[in-house]
């Protein structure tokens, strides 16, 4: 069932405002999850949506910090090599 245009526009504005606040503060899940819950999004949908939103926001942060030469690459790569398989294993265990 498609969303009414007014509701879709409201969700889009709320998501954009949340994105600006997340980008400015760096505390994504703290803002986005309560917003989704206030919009009556079920927890089973809201939580994965918040987690999925970390991928693009993290990618933008990495690019921005690389451009400013503010990202220590060696520790980032070491953490990434360990966190990737660990997160995958944890997700598979929950399933």
| Most distant CA pair in the chain, distance | 48
SS3 state at 84:
helix
Question: Is the pTM above the cut of 0.85?
Answer: no
What pLDDT, in 10s, does the model give residues 14-40? 878 877 877 777 776 677 888 888 888
What pLDDT, in 10s, does the model give residues 72-83? 989 989 988 988
**Which residue shows structure tokens 């598979």?**
92
Picking from 7-11, 26-30, 46-50, 57-61, which range would have the lowest pLDDT averaged per residue? 26-30
- Looking at the chain, the whole-number percentage of residues with pLDDT higher than 90 is 19
């Amino acid at each position: 069932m498609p969303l009414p245009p007014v509701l879709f526009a409201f969700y889009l504005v709320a998501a954009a405002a949340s994105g600006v606040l997340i980008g400015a503060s760096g505390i994504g899940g703290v803002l986005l999850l309560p917003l989704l819950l206030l919009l009556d999004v079920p927890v089973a949908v809201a939580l994965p949506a918040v987690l999925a939103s970390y991928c693009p926001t993290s990618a933008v942060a990495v690019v921005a910090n690389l451009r400013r030469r503010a990202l220590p690459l060696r520790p980032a790569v070491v953490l990434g090599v360990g966190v990737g398989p660990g997160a995958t294993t944890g997700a598979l265990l929950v399933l």
